[in-house]
Chain A
């Protein structure tokens, strides 16, 4: 592998110079699937405070973003569902944590729009609900739509399966989820991957995230915790 300015030896060094108090961070993953485990742990070990985190979920107690809640580094969460975390619940009910709920598809599209330079879009999702309170409503045809704004962040941290030194990424199965959009919507993006492969090893026709979106890349080790281990039983032959 040729040396490349994008490749960093570990998550800690990859974060260097990209963090500051009061910053906004997008963090990929759905539940604990496809989360940037290594970069979250490195953020925990940094002294960054007052973070606004944009992430579909908030991890679980002691793992994923739950670790940044325990250290009180998160000031605000923008999420669609946060049901799996007792410490989150405690901080929220005590008024120590701000929370903004977005419908999941609206959250995904706000991030996609932010990364694509689109400042706002209209959607029927949430019209007539508290999600639309205070937002512009516009009628197209015979239906009302609510104006939602694009989202950007100071930093996005994402997880992919394989990547190369130019930052080209491939995701695996449902671990893709929010990661590709978040790659586009951070002022800077750090990707952690299971394997950094030589440039040229990835099929250009099958790259999910082109390297232009990825500023730094690091190879990590992964626990890949499972939230709901559901199985079926093989019938005896």
Chain B
């Protein structure tokens, strides 16, 4: 069985380490917050100006002045701090965030990522994605292995406009996990989802990779 959304979040949560400051993207990455291991201190950053993001509020706690980067209502914790957007991106650009987990449309074998724009379709904007991939120490992508037409999203080279070049460190798809080699020379397949075979990966992956399971 390939991994489902929650399995993907669970697998991505294994990239967390005690003491990490982490920024989670919208979608499956947001679910990683539900899988922070017991006893581990992980501080979530929200790029609209908050460190120490708490869970969704109870109905009677909703505060219009307290939202995350996905514009969802959230809560604060005892440890929370607030700051401006420029301070927030100084944290990101300055390399102070340990890890970001993001979705993607395409990832290439050299670590290029495209996740903000499909030419010819309505472009909504990159938000903070370009800053995150350029500034955060470790970039983990969580996505489906193939698009809805069954075409590989793990490519030799991205076809869509890029979000960043040579920035991705780890790719977690519903079929398995790839490390991006730091020298940009390709991928290493390091893990398979349950019941997924090497043949299936080979058939569905355009990028070059070596098997290192």
Q: Whole-angstrom distance from the CB of B184 to the nearest CB of chain A?
A: 12
A181-B84, A231-B56 known; A106 vs B131 contact (CB < 8 Å): yes
Which of A83, A176, A231 is close to B82, meaning CB atoms less than 8 Å apart?
A176
Kindly specify which of A39-47, A65-73, A167-175 makes contact with the partner chain. Answer: A167-175
Listed in ascending order, the chain A residues whose CB lies under 8 Å from chain B are 30-34, 56, 79-84, 89, 92-93, 101, 103-106, 108-109, 111-112, 123-131, 161, 171-181, 208, 224-234
A106 to B63, CA, bound (A): 28
Q: Is the CB of A231 within 8 A of B89?
A: no
Name the 9 nearest CB pairs between A and B, nearest first. A105-B89, A105-B131, A128-B165, A83-B124, A224-B64, A81-B125, A103-B130, A108-B85, A104-B128
Interface core residue of B57, B68, B90, B134 (most chain A CB under 10 Å): B134
- A174 contacts which of B48, B93, B112, B125 (Cβ < 8 Å)? B48
Which one of A79, A225, A227 contacts B125 once the chains associate, using CB atoms below 8 Å?
A: A79
In the complex, A174→B68 CA distance in Å?
8
Q: Check if B85 sits within 8 Å of A173, measured CB to CB.
A: no
| Chain B residues positioned under 8 Å from A229 (CB to CB) | 62, 73
Contact status B85-A129, CB under 8 Å: no
Total contacting residues, chain B, CB less than 8 A: 52
B64 and A225: CB pair below 8 A? yes
In contact, B164 and A128 (Cβ under 8 angstroms) = yes
Interface residues of chain B: helix, strand, loop or mixed (majority): loop
CA distance in complex: A83, B127 (Å): 10
Beta-carbon contact of B127 and A231 below 8 Å: no
Smallest Cβ-Cβ distance to A28: which chain B residue: B85
Whether the pair A129, B74 counts as a contact (CB closer than 8 A) is no
Per a CB cutoff under 8 Å, which of B85, B126, B131 touches A101?
B126
Residues of B within 8 A of A174 (CB): 46, 48-50, 65-68, 82
Q: Are B126 and A56 in contact (CB under 8 A)?
A: no
Chain A binding surface, main DSSP class: loop
Residues of A within 8 A of B131 (CB): 103-106, 125
Q: Produce 1/0 per residue, B120-158, CB < 8 A to A.
A: 001111111111001100000000000000000000000
| Contact, CB under 8 Å: B85 / A175 | no
The interface residues of chain A lying within 8 Å CB-to-CB of B72 are 228, 230
Give the CA-CA distance A123 to B165 in the complex, in Å: 14
A residues less than 8 Å from B82 (CB atoms): 171, 173-174, 176
Query: Are the CB atoms of B64 and A80 closer together than 8 Å?
Result: no
Do A228 and B73 touch across chains, with their CB atoms under 8 A apart? Answer: yes
Please tell me if the beta carbons of A108 and B161 are within 8 angstroms of each other in the complex.
no
Choice from A109, A208, A230 contacting B89 with Cβ under 8 Å: A109
The smallest beta-carbon distance between A145 and chain B, in angstroms, is 10
Minimum distance in angstroms from A113 CB to a CB of chain B: 9
Cβ 8 A contact of B165, one of A82, A127, A175, A225: A127
12 further A-B pairs in the complex, CB-CB below 8 A; given A34-B65, A82-B124, A103-B127: A101-B123, A105-B89, A105-B130, A108-B88, A125-B131, A129-B161, A129-B162, A161-B65, A173-B66, A177-B48, A231-B59, A234-B58
